[in-house]
Chains A and B, each alone.
Chain A
Amino acid sequence: MINAIIIDDEPLAISVVEEYLAKHQDIEVIGTFNDGFQGLKGITELKPDLVFLDVQMPKISGIEMLELLDDLPAIVFTTAFEEYAIKAFEANAIDYLLKPFSQDRFDASIERFKLRPANQKTEVSNLLAAQPTNRIVLKDNGRIRILALKDVDYLEADDDYVKIVSANESFLKKTTLKRYEEQLPSSQFIRVHCSFMVNLSKITRIDPYEKTSHMAILKSGTGLPVSKSGYLNLKEVLGI
């Protein structure tokens, strides 16, 4: 038996999927959820094999929700949005259903799910890079936090984690700086060092430091090391 859950903020959109699933006797719907918070809880607790996921939902999008999961189930996106379709495939999502979709089209998705390579993993990072963002969504002691990018001071690589410092608080997220380099707007966040990315608007001055490198001083008083190539990056963005 295949266990599936449906996450969508519109009840009727859930009922279409349920109706289309009725003829697939080998798939059972073990839960339906109306937003990303409930959906996250549902996926974590029920560990479904397959998730039908809407993108635009209250407070956090379906994609942001996926980013909070350590282990991703197989995903079929169901949405009226077209712009992420190609990225969804790059992210190895099983399929992408544009609403309103037909039973035939839906059945084709189920087929794709059943025929998927055993080791196929969904890559959320590709999806997030496709979505212009002004915030970072993360989990902090089991609580979901939404940080506005304009409040973030800097990001620091820390082993398998990235430390995100925002308004005197810091958070750890299991990811890489490289991923944030792809995801965050390059005009706002600058890689100044192999371990640091800084919010340009938080810098008050850049001082020479030792012989060849520099130090970026933030409004909060924190000093961040700036490497040679990081200094070049800064100069390019600032146009000096």
Chain B
Amino acid sequence: MILLQELFQLSWEDSLLESLGFNSILGVVAFISVTALRFYNPSTDRFIYLILVAGIITAVAVAIDTYLLNLLFDKTFPIDYSERVIYFNSGFGFLILLSIQALGMQRNMLAEESELQQRKEETERIAKEAELDKLRHQLQPHFLFNSLNSINALILSQPAQARRMVQQLSAFLRGTIRADDSKVIPLKEEMEHINLYLEIEKVRFGHRLQTEMLIGAACESMFVPPLLLQPLLENAIKFGLYGTTGDVLITLGVECVGGFLAVSISNPTDNESTSQSGTGFGLTSIKRRLNLLFGRNDLLYTTKTDDLFTVNLKIPQKHD
């Protein structure tokens, strides 16, 4: 407005009117064009397109402005000035529109990018969860069918024991399905699940299978990801029972060391025996799970002596 006044020596009222008129028209068309851009985002030749649109819109705005002003305030403007005003308005409007559109477009691009990023993160999260879910729920069909076979054996000879085993197996399966990786659970809770599992296995294998639990009292309230220790015990039992022919003692030791829960699980092994293939010892899947949960590869390692195989595991305690 002031520019108009200075450059063209227009009267104060005239320049105010002209500025208000043109700028509001400019504002309206700029808003429309930016809104339109939000829905239609040209990807190629976007700058040429931008300039073209800005030019056309400016021309339209100037035309409307001139027409309206002439209509409303006929002959208010000195005729030789109005042409110059038109040129000025055109140049000014064009620049303003161009920059508004450029800003709008950039905002759109940024929004799109962040949406893409979000979608990518979401996809990754879902994939990770699905994988964790799969790793966690790798229920051993062998365990299930053989347990059912044991129940089948007990039904006639020891019905009370058969019923007990049905209940244990149900509770174990329920715990397996319910487990949610997004939260850790107290060690005590995981131990209840483990004990259910061990009782079932002891019915199956009788006196051959013995277990020893050495758990520091202070560790019981520390946290573990659900269903992480049980597959390790399952592994140790399989390894122990199928790798040797004698009685098998499985030891589970848990200590709290610094910010970690240090777990060791050992089973007897036979130096001579080459393990039977196809029995699926699942240490790889546990390692993978630890990596997905904690982003570390150094949390699990194994040691082997002549007659003892031990899995050592560190579970970081998150301090929130």
Residues of chain A at the chain B interface (Cβ within 8 Å): 9-13, 15-16, 19, 34-35, 37, 56-61, 80-81, 98-100, 131-135, 146-148
What would 15 A/B residue contacts be, using CB atoms closer than 8 Å?
Answer: A16-B152, A19-B156, A34-B245, A56-B279, A58-B241, A59-B245, A80-B146, A99-B148, A99-B149, A99-B152, A100-B148, A134-B275, A134-B277, A146-B272, A148-B274
Contacts A134-B274, A134-B277, A146-B272 given; indicate if A13 touches B244 (C-beta within 8 A): no
- With most chain A CB atoms within 10 A of its CB, the pick from B270, B275, B276 is B276
A80 to B152, CA, bound (A): 13
Beyond known contacts A13-B153, A56-B276: 5 more, CB 8 A cutoff: A10-B205, A99-B149, A135-B274, A146-B273, A146-B274
The residues in B between 147 and 206 inclusive whose CB is less than 8 angstroms from any CB of A are: 148-154, 156-157, 203-206
Contact partners of B141 in chain A: CB under 8 A: 80
Main SS at interface, chain A: loop
Contacts A80-B145, A131-B278 given; indicate if A16 touches B242 (C-beta within 8 A): no
Contacts A100-B149, A146-B272 given; indicate if A132 touches B245 (C-beta within 8 A): no
Q: In the complex, which of the residues A9, A35, A100 contacts B145, with contact meaning CB atoms closer than 8 Å?
A: A100
Q: In the complex, which of the residues A12, A15, A57, A80 contacts B142, with contact meaning CB atoms closer than 8 Å?
A: A80
A132 to B242, CA, bound (A): 17
Contact partners of B243 in chain A: CB under 8 A: 58-59
Q: 3 shortest A-B CB distances, which residue pairs?
A: A80-B145, A12-B153, A99-B149
Asked whether B142 lies within 8 Å of A56 as measured between CB atoms, the reply is yes
Asked whether B157 lies within 8 Å of A19 as measured between CB atoms, the reply is yes
Asked whether A9 lies within 8 Å of B149 as measured between CB atoms, the reply is no
Asked whether A57 lies within 8 Å of B156 as measured between CB atoms, the reply is no
Contact partners of A10 in chain B: CB under 8 A: 146, 149-150, 204-206
Asked whether A9 lies within 8 Å of B241 as measured between CB atoms, the reply is yes
Q: In the complex, which of the residues A12, A58, A80, A98 contacts B242, with contact meaning CB atoms closer than 8 Å?
A: A58
Contact partners of A57 in chain B: CB under 8 A: 242
Q: In the complex, which of the residues A12, A15, A100 contacts B204, with contact meaning CB atoms closer than 8 Å?
A: A12
Interface residue total, chain B, C-beta cutoff 8 A? 32
CB distance from B80 to the nearest CB of A (A): 89
The residues in B between 227 and 285 inclusive whose CB is less than 8 angstroms from any CB of A are: 241-245, 270, 272-279
Main SS at interface, chain B: helix
Residues of chain B at the chain A interface (Cβ within 8 Å): 141-142, 145-146, 148-154, 156-157, 203-206, 208, 241-245, 270, 272-279
CB distance from B145 to the nearest CB of A (A): 4
A61 to B279, CA, bound (A): 11
Contact partners of A12 in chain B: CB under 8 A: 149-150, 153-154, 203-204, 206
Contact partners of A9 in chain B: CB under 8 A: 205, 208, 241
Contact partners of B244 in chain A: CB under 8 A: 58-59
A13 to B208, CA, bound (A): 14
Asked whether B157 lies within 8 Å of A133 as measured between CB atoms, the reply is no
Asked whether A100 lies within 8 Å of B205 as measured between CB atoms, the reply is no
Asked whether B156 lies within 8 Å of A99 as measured between CB atoms, the reply is no
CB distance from A32 to the nearest CB of B (A): 13
Asked whether A56 lies within 8 Å of B152 as measured between CB atoms, the reply is no
Contact partners of B156 in chain A: CB under 8 A: 19
Asked whether B206 lies within 8 Å of A11 as measured between CB atoms, the reply is yes
Minimum CB distance partner of B142 in chain A: A80
CB distance from A231 to the nearest CB of B (A): 30
CB distance from B109 to the nearest CB of A (A): 49
Contact partners of A100 in chain B: CB under 8 A: 145, 148-149, 151-152
Minimum CB distance partner of B206 in chain A: A11
Contact partners of A99 in chain B: CB under 8 A: 145-146, 148-149, 152
Asked whether A13 lies within 8 Å of B150 as measured between CB atoms, the reply is yes
Minimum CB distance partner of B152 in chain A: A100
Contact partners of A133 in chain B: CB under 8 A: 277
Asked whether B153 lies within 8 Å of A19 as measured between CB atoms, the reply is yes
- With most chain B CB atoms within 10 A of its CB, the pick from A11, A57, A135 is A11
- With most chain B CB atoms within 10 A of its CB, the pick from A19, A61, A100, A134 is A100
Q: In the complex, which of the residues A13, A60, A132 contacts B146, with contact meaning CB atoms closer than 8 Å?
A: A13
Minimum CB distance partner of A11 in chain B: B206
CB distance from B187 to the nearest CB of A (A): 30
Contact partners of A37 in chain B: CB under 8 A: 245
Asked whether A61 lies within 8 Å of B276 as measured between CB atoms, the reply is yes
Asked whether A81 lies within 8 Å of B274 as measured between CB atoms, the reply is no
A13 to B205, CA, bound (A): 10
CB distance from A200 to the nearest CB of B (A): 18
A12 to B204, CA, bound (A): 7
A15 to B241, CA, bound (A): 20
Contact partners of B151 in chain A: CB under 8 A: 100
A37 to B244, CA, bound (A): 11
Contact partners of B152 in chain A: CB under 8 A: 16, 99-100
CB distance from B153 to the nearest CB of A (A): 4
CB distance from B201 to the nearest CB of A (A): 10
Contact partners of A60 in chain B: CB under 8 A: 276
Asked whether A59 lies within 8 Å of B273 as measured between CB atoms, the reply is yes
A45 to B226, CA, bound (A): 50
CB distance from A77 to the nearest CB of B (A): 14
